[in-house]
């Protein structure tokens, strides 16, 4: 798998998408130490510094999948969607690259996470969970299931002074994710870039206000102490009959 070639294609894809939105996009010259971010997008008022990271499937798993498919097997996968340490490391690297840029002042620093390969939908979900510490919470009385933001470890929290937001995407589309821990959250929410994504914006504060999600960014409990975190959710929303549900991604493939 030529990941370098695929990464360059992804950079072209990202630049083209931003240009179509009406932004002036400039690629940043790559430094020898590979610490510079990828590009700057500008509108009439502000600039956005962006580092693109493409997530590829593991070569060994991809090779095994292809061999099984070519052998006539039905390849089934069931994966728990959870916080990914590998992805967190990628986000940490992106934050370092964004912070290394000193050539000019920028208003916002963003990471663009693009899912590439045979499981883009799974990777897309993993992006959200790792950024937001997102989990599904079910009400055992009403049977309603809603996402809970910041229920688990959150890279937006860890990188709150380094990353103001993120774009997550597959070849089918994408979403703009606001980091509600960033001091620039309110301003970025009003930006042209956020507006260009229309309804494809993830904003835990707004979703909470609309009753579509739980938002526990104000919870000081250690996220490893899940019973305490769940207790906080129950007390904050005055809902006793809540439980956390594991989220699964299912996929089955066969060559006909």
CA-nearest of 180, 196, 165, 13 to 95 is 165
- The helix/strand/coil state of 127 is helix
pLDDT, position 144: 96
* Residue numbers of the domain that contains 8: 3-253
The model scores a pTM over 0.85:
yes
Gap between the Cα atoms of 100 and 28, Å rounded: 12
pLDDT of res. 120: 85
Cα distances (Å, whole numbers) of residue 103 to 50, 93, 100, 129:
14, 19, 9, 33
Structural domain count, the chain:
1
Contact by Cβ (8 Å): 256, 77 = no
pLDDT for 67 = 62
pLDDT along the chain (256 residues), means of 10: 51 90 92 80 96 72 61 69 93 95 93 86 94 98 97 98 96 95 98 97 98 98 97 98 85 64
Q: What is the pLDDT of residue 235?
A: 98
Q: Report the pLDDT value the prediction gives residue 34, as an integer from 0 to 100.
A: 66
> What whole-number distance in Å separates Cα of residue 54 and Cα of residue 90?
9
What pLDDT shows up at residue 30?
A: 75
What's the pLDDT at 2? 39
For residue 139, give both structure tokens: 């009400």
pLDDT at 222: 97
Is 129 in contact with 153 (CB distance < 8 Å)? no
């Amino acid at each position: 798998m030529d990941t370098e070639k695929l990464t360059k294609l992804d950079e072209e894809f990202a630049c083209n998408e931003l240009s179509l939105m009406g932004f002036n996009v400039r690629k940043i010259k790559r430094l020898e130490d590979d610490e510079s971010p990828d590009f700057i997008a500008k509108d009439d008022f502000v600039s956005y510094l962006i580092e693109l990271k493409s997530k590829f499937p593991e070569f060994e798993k991809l090779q095994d999948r292809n061999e099984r498919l070519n052998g006539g097997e039905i390849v089934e996968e069931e994966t728990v969607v959870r916080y990914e340490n590998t992805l967190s490391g990628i986000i940490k690297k992106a934050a370092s690259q964004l912070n290394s840029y000193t050539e000019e002042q920028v208003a916002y620093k963003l990471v663009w996470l693009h899912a590439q390969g045979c499981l883009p939908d799974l990777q897309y979900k993993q992006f959200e969970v790792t950024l937001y510490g997102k989990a599904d919470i079910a009400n055992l009385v009403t049977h309603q299931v809603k996402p809970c933001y910041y229920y688990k470890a959150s890279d937006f929290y860890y990188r709150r002074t380094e990353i103001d937001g993120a774009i997550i995407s597959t070849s089918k589309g994408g979403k703009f994710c606001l980091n509600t821990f960033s001091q620039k959250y309110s301003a970025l929410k009003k930006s042209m870039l956020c507006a260009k994504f229309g309804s494809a914006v993830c904003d835990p504060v707004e979703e909470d206000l609309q009753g579509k999600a739980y938002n526990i960014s104000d919870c000081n409990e250690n996220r490893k102490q899940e019973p305490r975190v769940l207790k906080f959710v129950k007390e904050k929303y005055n809902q006793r009959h809540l439980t956390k549900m594991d989220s699964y991604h299912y996929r089955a493939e066969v060559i006909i």
